Structure 1
Amino acid sequence: MPEWSVIIFRSLGALFILFVLTRILGKKQISQLSFFEYVLGITLGELAGFISTDLEGHYFYGVLAIFVWFFVPFLLEFAMLKSKKLRHLFEGKGRVVMKEGKVLEDNLKKERLTADELLEQLRGKNVFNLADVEFAIMETTGELSVLLKKEKQPLTPSDMGMKKVNEVEPQTVIIDGKIQLEPLATIGLSPGWLQTELEKIGVSLDNVFLGQVDAYQQLYVDLFDDNLKVPAPQGKALLLATLKKTQADLELFAVATRSPDAKAMYERNSVALNQLIDSLKPMLQN
């Protein structure tokens, strides 16, 4: 067998083994790495390259070495789940580098972090003023976690006394001009409904790159032809307008009627509908 074909065979075998083992070790291997995971990744890659190209080396020995480097961290992962001391030993622990707007220089030196690197990390968190920082912690992954002072934090709906709305994940119902039946069925809609919505906005199915339907059954589409303008969904705006019109009609009926009972009923329902509109505004005005 030619050497080039042997290299291809050994490389594919090493790639398959690394893929399977990485899947077993979990997603942490492809996210921000700890010290131990960093060393493990380098070693596994080095072993894979070695058994792929070293034709004089025994292939089985290389595979055996990979499995040794797999089983040791695999077992340690279980041990670290139960032992805080082991986690600190192999992964380290977070260290506070800023407190109440002041840099803790000693901790900064322990993390081998310069002032320029600290400022760079802060800018990455959209923090440009040291005085705005309540706490900054260097995590075991090398990522800087920043807590701003209370008065410098962005306003939230709860700060403004607004009701928070839990949004439901939109369903992607069209991909590359093809209807996705399963997501469409998940939200209780049919292909016929989708075709009708496309006709309303004057768009053909084969021109849709992506199409999504939100919790309010509004269709958003991205077209292959970017020069075409698609009207924004108006479902929520129309519903809010309809509710306001109905409430206004109830007030008009209350003024126009001569019956005291009917007048009281119209006024009561108008107030109830107005309260409903106020509670729905956060959802319908987004």
Structure 2
Amino acid sequence: MPDWLEIVIRSTSLLIIVFLVSKAFGKRQLAQLSLFEFIAGIVVAVIAANISIGLGTPITHGLVGLSIWFIIPMLLGLLAIKSKPIRNLLEGKGAVLIKDGKIMEDNLKKERFSSDDLLEKLRAKNVFQAADVEFAVLEPDGGLSVLPKKENQPLTPKDMGMKVAPIKEPQSVVMDGEVLHEPLSTAGLSLNWLETELDKLGVSIENVYLAQVDSYGQLNVDLFDDKLQVPSPQEKPLLLATLKKCQADMEVFALSTQNKDAKKMYTTNSQKLQNAITKVEQYLQN
């Protein structure tokens, strides 16, 4: 067999093997790998490269070495899932760098972190003063988790005692000009509904780069042609405007009629509708 053909066969086979090995390590990003997993990945890649072009080395020897560097990290990874001591040994533990608003200098030295390193990590979290931090921990993957002091945390609707509408994940119903029927069905909608909504916007499915349905059933569209402007959904504002108009009409009817029973009926229903508007207004505003 010619050398070049053997290299092609070896390289193709090892490419498949390394791909399967990388899939078996899971979906963690490179920055989330432990130091041991990172080193094991490098060694696997080096062994695979040597087997690929090292024609003087029996392929079985290379596969034995590759198997060891794959199986042992995999077994340790499975044990780490079930055992915290092993997980701490392989991945390390988080180090507290700021506690109760005080910088822990000793922990900084242990982690070989300078004050500049700490400030850089804080700036990455949009925190520019260490005095604004209540608690900060250096995670095993090198990331910094920061808890700002209460007065420096963003104001939330819960802090203001406000209720907000629950939000569900949007469903992508058109992508690259093609209808995605499964997400459309998940949203409880049909192809006829989609075509009707696109007709209202004056666009065809083929011209749609991405279309998503939000939790309120509104269709948001982005076209291939960036010069064309698509109006934003108006279903919620229109519904709110309609409710307010109905409530106002009932008040007008109550004032204009001379019939006491009719006046009472219009007034009562106007108040009920106003109460309903007060409850749903925050959900119908953009």
Tell me the TM-score normalized by structure 2.
Answer: 0.92
Cα distance in 2 for partners of 1:32, 1:100 equals 27
SS of equivalent residue, structure 2 residue 172: strand
SS of equivalent residue, structure 1 residue 193: helix
What stretches of structure 1 of length at least 5 have no aligned partner? none
Structure 1 residues 75 and 249: alpha-carbon distance in aligned structure 2, compared to 1, 3 A threshold: same
- 1:47 corresponds in structure 2 to 47
- 1:76 corresponds in structure 2 to 76
Q: State, as a whole percentage, how many aligned pairs show the same letter.
A: 54
- 2:98 corresponds in structure 1 to 98
One-letter amino acid of the counterpart of residue 153, structure 2? Q
- 1:235 corresponds in structure 2 to 235
Kindly indicate whether the alpha-carbon contact (under 8 Å) linking 1:29 and 1:37 is maintained by their aligned counterparts in 2.
no
Structure 1 residues 266 and 60: alpha-carbon distance in aligned structure 2, compared to 1, 3 A threshold: farther
Structure 1 residues 256 and 139: alpha-carbon distance in aligned structure 2, compared to 1, 3 A threshold: same
Superposed CA RMSD in Å reads 1.9
SS of equivalent residue, structure 1 residue 249: helix
- Report the CA distance between 1:132 and its aligned residue: 0.4
- Report the CA distance between 1:260 and its aligned residue: 4.2
Cα distance in 2 for partners of 1:12, 1:78 equals 29
Cα distance in 2 for partners of 1:189, 1:70 equals 47
**1:17 correspondence with 2:17:** yes
SS of equivalent residue, structure 1 residue 70: helix
What stretches of structure 2 of length at least 5 have no aligned partner? none
Structure 1 residues 234 and 69: alpha-carbon distance in aligned structure 2, compared to 1, 3 A threshold: same
- Report the CA distance between 1:148 and its aligned residue: 0.3
Moved over 6 A (4+): none
**1:141 correspondence with 2:141:** yes
One-letter amino acid of the counterpart of residue 148, structure 2? L
**1:199 correspondence with 2:199:** yes
- 1:110 corresponds in structure 2 to 110
Kindly indicate whether the alpha-carbon contact (under 8 Å) linking 1:100 and 1:131 is maintained by their aligned counterparts in 2.
no
Structure 1 residues 32 and 256: alpha-carbon distance in aligned structure 2, compared to 1, 3 A threshold: same
Cα distance in 1 for partners of 2:189, 2:169 equals 15
Cα distance in 1 for partners of 2:192, 2:13 equals 48
Cα distance in 2 for partners of 1:23, 1:107 equals 36
Cα distance in 1 for partners of 2:70, 2:150 equals 45
Moved more, 40-49 or 236-245: 40-49
One-letter amino acid of the counterpart of residue 91, structure 2? E
One-letter amino acid of the counterpart of residue 125, structure 2? K
